[in-house]
Amino acid sequence: MIARDKPAHSAQRPPLRDWQQRCLTKALAQLSPKQPHFLCQATPGAGKMLMAAVLADQLLQRDEIDYVLYLGPSTEVVNRAEETLAEVTGYAMNGGLGARGGCYTYQSLRQCLRMLQQLGAQSRVLLIWDESHHAGRLLATQQGSNEWGRALLLLERYMRYTLALSGTPWRTDGHCLPLLRYLDVPCDDEEINETSLKQRLVPDFVYTLQEAVQDGVCRLPYIHLIDNRHIQLTLTHTKHKKPPQQKQFSSIPRLLRHSGVGYADLLRHDAPMNYVLTQGVAK
C-alpha cells in the first residue's frame, strides 16, 4: 500500500446519530500513545461501522495515522466494511496500490500477518477489529488464546491505535478478549463457600439496546418461544442390523435429554428451521 493524495469525491455520508457522535468525541479525546486501545460496545444494528469509519477519517485528516486496517469474521462483513470506509474517507481500502488501508477476515490474518506487521512497523496504523468476541484468551494471561486471538496479539504490537467493536463483547467459553481492559471483582462461589475474583470487562463506551429502542435506532425485540408436543425420533442400528426404533417426545427440552440429540442437531434439521423462518417472516 502506498499513500496518495485524497481523491475528490462527492459522496455524502448520513449524519451521525447522537450516540455515534458522543462515542466519536470520546475516542478522539482518549486515543493516545498511553491509551492506544478503545472498545465501543453498542447494541447490534446501532451503526458501529459508520462511527468507526468517521473516526478513521478524522484521524487521517489530523495526520495521526497513515493507514487503516479492518478485521472482521466473514467475507460479507468485511466487504461491507470496506465499502463504508471507502465511502466515508474517500480512499480505496482494498489493500491495493494507492489504497490507504485494507480489510481482511480473521481467518486470513495468518497469511498476511508478516506483511501487515511490516506496514505497522513503518507507518502509523489504526486497527479496527469488528465483532471482537470472535477472538479470545484465557483470564489474565496471553496463554490459551484461540487462533484468531493469537494472530491479533502478534499484530497489535505494531499498531498505533486499535478500535474494538462489538455488541456482545464476551465469549461463551468464559475467555477474556485480547487488548481490552478487565477489572478483578469479588465473586461469591456458593459451591465452595468462599469469595473469589472474576474479571469484568471495562468498555470505553457503551450504548445499550434499551437506549437504542428509546432513541428509535432499534426496534423493540419480541421473543417467541417455539415448541413441539409431538416429536418423533427414529433410531437406526447400522452395526447390529436391528429394525429402526421410534421414540416419542412431548417437548424439545425432553428431546434434548436424549444422549444422541444435541441442540446443534435441531439447527441443522431442515424441518424446524423452515418452521422458525416461516414464523419469523409472518410475525
Q: Which amino acid makes up residue 151?
A: A
Q: Average of pLDDT values for 110-136?
A: 86
pLDDT of 226 strictly over 90: no
Average pLDDT over residues 133-148: 48
Domain ranges of the chain: 18-215, 231-282
Q: Model's pTM, two decimal places?
A: 0.72
What is the pLDDT averaged over residues 89-97?
94
Please list the helix, strand and coil fractions of the chain in percent, rounded to the nearest 5, in that order.
35, 25, 40
Q: How far apart are CA 37 and CA 179, in angstroms?
A: 7
- Number of Cβ within a 10 Å radius of residue 60: 22
Of 21, 122, 142, 4, the C-alpha closest to 60 is 4
Cβ atoms of 203 and 38 within 8 Å: the answer is no
Is residue 192's pLDDT more than 60? no
pLDDT of residue 250: 92
pLDDT grade, residue 219 (50/70/90)? Answer: confident
> How far is Cα of residue 16 from the mean position of the Cα atoms in its chain?
21
CATH dotted code for 18-215: 3.40.50.10810
| pLDDT higher than 80, residue 141 | no
